[in-house]
Amino acid sequence: MKGQTIATLKRLEEIDWFYAVGQKDTQQAIVLTSWDEAVTSCACDEWGDLLLEATNRYCQKLASLSGDRFGHWNELVREAKKITEPLVARKIEKTIKKNNLPKIIVDTVNWDILHLVMEAEFADIYPPGFYASQGYWYVHGHFPCGWKGEFPEGMLIVY
């Protein structure tokens, strides 16, 4: 893994996740007030579609800039999952148990962190974007979980 990827993983390991959930400490996003709202928001089809679309757009751009490097995407995803999935499990285990959260939360966080790492890994070809912005919210103690409006217009929803 590249230096930027390792630094990203190190930063994620060092921080406390979800320490600011529910705190209205930003005007840059709509802040939800409960895990129930966050679950409902992240489970909606529109949010899942947006996450998939962000990934697809990044991959398309990456493939157009370096088909050779993009050809290793799936291999790198498999390798990255060996690191990101245990990291996510460690970082969210207490929150999941304490709040009796459903699997959709684990799946969403796994998806976000994996793609944050993938953007870091390919940053030398195409700059990180959507998932780097998701990472910002994790670092600042929130859980990004939805979008209000027509993307890219509108506003992110976090808990």
Average pLDDT over residues 144-151: 96
- Does this model's pTM top 0.85? My answer is yes
pLDDT tens, residue by residue, 112-124:
999 999 999 999 9
Average pLDDT over residues 56-67: 98
Torsion of CA 63, 64, 69, 71, to 10 degrees: 40
Euclidean distance between CA atoms 50 and 73, whole angstroms: 20
